[in-house]
Amino acid sequence: MMLIKDYETYKSVYCSLCGALHKQYGIFAKNILSYDITFFCIMAAGLNGAKPCVKKGRCMFNPFKKCFYCTKQDKYLEMGAAFSVISFYYKLTDNIKDDGVFSKLGCYMLLPFAKRYRKKALKKYPHFDIILGDILALQAECEDKEFVSLDRCAHPSAVMLKRLMMTLAENEQNKCEYGEFGYYLGRWVYLIDAIDDIKKDLKKNRFNPFIKMFDITRDNISDDVKQQCNEIVNMTSARLVSAYKKLEIKTYKEICDNIINIGIGQMQKNVIFMNNREEIFDE
């Protein structure tokens, strides 16, 4: 679905983010790399009009593999890397709280690394920590209470991305628009993640808004429920698209357009109807 030239630019940001994680936080940090954060870096660079510059290179971890790197985007990559490590830390602490014995053990082993990374990231980006820490508390509160509405469950994640996007804004007007876009993006990500986790949560008897909503008890989810889940996500996607249209993206526009207009639909199809979340950008 993606043009080769866009794909290369996208991949170049991905590889550079990997490089930034490696350079700033050490060799293990590259394992927490994610496509979501890559998208955030691209949006950050695009909204601020950073010129895309691509240079050829070799993968840092596999010298036989050729890849692309982008140059001159250090500011946004650094930001992405810091956000990655802080969110990694919070994800671990969250897992320790409600996972089984073995995965708990794994998390405990990773925790010292995560703590060290977070400490380093905190020096330059203390506001990321506040944004993420707040949300976790709110989320826990939502899930402890009796299930009332999907919107309430999605709210903390949505607010998190809203605040994150707002840090990119330069003036008040932008702040509003970025915030709105961030809110729906966060909401969309939460919904997709929740649908993706239905089976896992059923097995582990964990909270999931969709299980409560449709009273899902068995492993296979009926087509009707899938259809309804998709419709619910579509409602958010539609608002995400209209919020996106208000943004003025100066560079990397083709990639962002592609992800918003085609990528999210593809992802919904993969997660809801095909039950596999292979990254849509993988070859």
Residues in contact with other proteins by CB under 8 A are 149-152, 155, 158, 180, 183-184, 187, 227, 230-242, 260-261, 264-266, 268-269, 272-273
Q: What are phi and psi of 127, to 5 degrees?
A: -70, -30
In the complex, least distance from residue 191 CB atom to other proteins, rounded to whole angstroms = 10
* Residue with Cβ nearer other proteins (70 or 195): 195
Give dist(CA 80, CA 56) in Å, integer: 21
Nearer to other proteins, 111 or 214 (CB): 214
Q: Least Å distance between CB 261 and other proteins?
A: 8
Rank residues 19 and 156 by Cβ distance to other proteins and give the closer one: 156
Q: Nearest distance from residue 47's CB to other proteins, in Å?
A: 20
Cβ atoms < 10 Å from Cβ of 64? 6
How far is CA 226 from its chain centroid? 23
Q: How far is the CB of 19 from other proteins (least distance, A)?
A: 33
Closer residue to other proteins, CB minimum distance, 208 or 236: 236
Of the pair 31, 242, the CB lying nearest other proteins is at 242
Of the two residues 71 and 149, which places its CB atom closer to other proteins in the complex?
Answer: 149
- The nearest distance, CB 253 to other proteins, in angstroms, is 17
Q: Which two tokens stand for residue 126?
A: 């203390």
Closest separation between CB of residue 235 and other proteins, Å? 5
